[in-house]
Amino acid sequence: AFHEVGFDTAFMYAWRDREVVMDMLEDISGNRVNYDYNTIGGVRRDVNDHLIQRMRKGFDRLEERTLYYRDVAIHEKTFWNRVDGVGLLPTPLAKKFGAVGPTGRGSNVPIDVRFNDPTQAYVNIVDSGEFQMVLSDRCDVAGRTVVRVQEVLETIRMCRWMLDNLPDGPIRERVRPQIQPNEVLARYEAPRGECVHYLITGDGAGKPSDKPYRIKVRAPTHANWVSMAECLRGNHLADAPIILAAIDPCFSCTDRVVIVDAEDQTIKLVPLDEMRNQANKWYSENARRVA
């Protein structure tokens, strides 16, 4: 948000403090970007006392800096005047359009998978009664911004709680390489909101397989796009980048393909094998021209 309103100094400060998070992720996974930490059945690496102490120091630093950014966002008039009352999304419309994550909670919609449908460690976190869902009734870009900043503080508290209550035992279960046929729908709370994964295991013919037969991901950005038409309505063109950035869109998450017959304009369903064969045919016929 700081960058979109031209407040690049605060943006670069935040980018500097991002390194604290990157360093912690590198400590526990060995990578700064593609962590490859989670695996089927658990995680790939354990954490020791030294890493835990480093993470605690990192959380202290992040909390201090986040409090600073929250103060800047709320009290710096050059920023607040650009987001106050901009991109309105009333609560009823946020519910109607299915807004998720900070976009929904910034319009006072209590939707957070960690609280609404907790799994794994979040069951214990919610049952502890020490945490609460962050909401705002402002229904504008300012509300979405405050929700995001406040959620960083709440997440830091969750991470500390998890370190304090980290159980002993194996870090992963043994899983058979051939998975039995099944159909699963799972969801979790990603930074942008509810992320849904639909999975069909097996080979599609009722036999086990080491590869999924079908997988579909509904990313939170895809759910929040519908709300943008309402958020943009009645605003200045110069506010469009701010309004769009407020949902933190991931454009690659929303890429979809629709095949339309050029003659009768009907939408066609094309099997993957047919698309693959068409691609191979095209490249074989045009390989020399492409090269």
pLDDT tens digits, residue range 191-248?
Answer: 999 999 999 999 988 999 999 999 999 999 999 999 999 999 999 999 999 999 999 9
Whether the pLDDT of residue 186 is over 90: the answer is yes
- Say how far apart CA 157 and CA 131 lie, in whole Å: 8
- Cβ neighbours around 54 below 10 Å, total: 16
Report which of residues 122 and 271 the model is more confident about: 122
Whether the pLDDT of residue 18 is over 80: the answer is yes
- Residue labelled with tokens 């869109």: 249
Q: Strand 38-39 vs strand 259-260: parallel, antiparallel, or unpaired?
A: unpaired
> Amino acid letter at 174?
R
Nearest to 195 by CA among 185, 205, 203: 185
The mean pLDDT value for 135-163 works out to 96
Whether the pLDDT of residue 107 is over 90: the answer is yes
- What is the pTM assigned to this prediction? 0.84
The answer to whether the CB of 103 falls within 8 A of the CB of 46 is: no
When pLDDT is cut at 50, 70 and 90, the band that residue 14 belongs to is very high
Check residue 199 and report its DSSP letter: E
- Cβ neighbours around 72 below 10 Å, total: 18
Residues ≥6 apart with Cβ < 8 Å to 136: 105, 106, 107, 108, 143, 144, 146, 147
pLDDT for position 253: 84
pLDDT over 70, % of the chain:
98
pLDDT for position 271: 80
Q: Across 11-144, where does the E strand assignment appear?
A: 38-39, 42-43
pLDDT for position 269: 79
pLDDT for position 83: 94
Give start and end residues of each alpha helix (H) in 128-271.
Answer: 141-164, 220-232, 240-245
Domain ranges within the chain, ordered by starting residue: 8-254, 259-290
pLDDT for position 28: 92
pLDDT tens digits, residue range 35-92?
Answer: 889 998 999 999 999 999 999 999 999 999 999 999 999 999 989 999 999 999 999 9
pLDDT for position 289: 66
The answer to whether the CB of 199 falls within 8 A of the CB of 183 is: yes
- Cβ neighbours around 122 below 10 Å, total: 19
When pLDDT is cut at 50, 70 and 90, the band that residue 102 belongs to is very high
pLDDT for position 283: 86
Whether the pLDDT of residue 153 is over 60: the answer is yes
- Say how far apart CA 44 and CA 42 lie, in whole Å: 7
Residues ≥6 apart with Cβ < 8 Å to 50: none
pLDDT for position 290: 56
Buried b (16+ CB within 10 A) or exposed e, 3-14: ebbebeebeebb
- Cβ neighbours around 208 below 10 Å, total: 14
pLDDT for position 291: 54
Task: Please give the helix or strand (H or E) that residue 192 lies within, else none.
Answer: none
8-254: CATH architecture: Orthogonal Bundle (1.10)
HEC readout, 154-180: HHHHHHHHHHHCCCCCCCECCCCCCEC
Token pair for 99: 């807004």
The answer to whether the CB of 28 falls within 8 A of the CB of 52 is: no
Nearest to 142 by CA among 246, 6, 72: 246
How many helices (H) does the chain have, and how many strands (E)? Answer: 11, 7
- Say how far apart CA 168 and CA 232 lie, in whole Å: 50
| Packing angle, helices 49-75 and 141-164, rounded to 10 | 160
* Chain mean pLDDT for the chain: 92
